[in-house]
Amino acid sequence: MKKLLRVLPVLLLSSSVAFADVVVTLQSGDGQGEMLISGQKLAMKTAGRGEQVVIRGDQGYMMTVDPGKKAVTKITKENMKQLGNQVNAAMKNFEAQLANVPPQQAEAMKKLMGGMMAKMSQPQQSPPVVSKTGQKRTVAEYTCEEYEVSRDGEVTRRYCVVPSSEISGGSEVRAGLQVMGDFFRELLTATQQGPFAKVIENPYLEFSKIGDGVPVLTEEVKGGQVVRSTTITSIKNDKIEVARFEPPTGYAVQNFGAGIGNPMGGGMPFRVPPQQR
């Protein structure tokens, strides 16, 4: 799922006009991926295991599809808010229990929580700063203008953008990805008072600052080095069946967080083991 969500920010846009269906082909280090856009519906499929992320703006949910497990997980703002409340309660219970155990044991239990607890306790990330570099590049058949995204003075991503009017299907791509931006904004609004506010990002915050264009190249940057790049290799108009945006037949469907009663997962509230108290 993380891989899919990294690729989602490859494109963007805004418009309320109805457009034709489009199929976008993407190339990255993982191989060839695909994005399907049909009105208020988007589906992203990556190379490798064939996992998918589907956003149904018309029905207000996102789902991940795992062919290996034949499982579908649905995410809505309602179940994210509910899960956030559960995690908040479990974290408070956990912290209260830690206050009654020896420091060495408390530290060991914190480590068992992994990176989730650390990320939820860190300060809210600063908003992205997007700026033109003044550089023009050639990507496939396009001449594009480079933008850099930085946080706290460090470059985290680069986009090379072509005006949508210069790409066949560009307006459809931008209009479709507005749906993605709207969904994540609603998700963030629903969770802004909960623990997930610090672990969910909306890539639309970056896209909204790059003008009326389509990023044909996206580079993720870490420590000044490009660690991953994704390129649009084609955008085609093609009729897409509604079934491509629905749970596959025979797959188990569950809501995100179903059965989770504590920050570590599982169905029981977290407790410090009695034998170690």
DSSP per residue, 70-120: TEEEEE-HHHHHHHHHHHHHHHHHHHHHHTTS-HHHHHHHHHHTTHHHHHH
Q: Does residue 150 fall inside a structural domain?
A: no
75 within domain boundaries: yes
Dump pLDDT digits (tens) for 123-167. 566 778 999 999 999 998 889 999 999 988 899 999 999 998 898
Residue 155: inside a domain, yes or no? no
Whether residue 102 lies inside any domain: the answer is yes
**Structural domain range at position 266:** 2-122+168-211+233-276
The number of folded domains in the chain is 1
| pLDDT tens by residue, the chain, 277 residues | 444 445 444 433 333 345 689 999 999 988 899 999 998 999 998 776 678 999 998 998 999 999 999 999 998 877 777 766 666 666 667 777 777 777 777 777 666 665 555 555 555 667 789 999 999 999 988 899 999 999 888 999 999 999 988 988 988 888 777 788 788 777 777 666 555 555 556 656 677 777 778 999 999 999 999 999 999 999 999 999 999 999 999 999 998 876 544 433 433 333 334 434 3
pTM of the full predicted structure? 0.71
Q: Measured in whole angstroms, how far is the alpha carbon of residue 195 from the centre of its chain?
A: 16
Position 257 in a domain: yes
Residue 46 within any structural domain of the chain:
yes
For the stretch 47-58, pLDDT in tens is 766 789 999 989
Among 207, 141, 208, smallest CA distance to 168 is for 141
Asked if the structure places residue 45 within a domain, the reply is yes
Nearest to 98 by CA among 275, 273, 251: 273
Closest CA to 247 of 64, 46, 38: 64
For every residue of 148-164, DSSP letters joined together read EEEETTEEEEEEEEEEG
Whether residue 191 lies inside any domain: the answer is yes
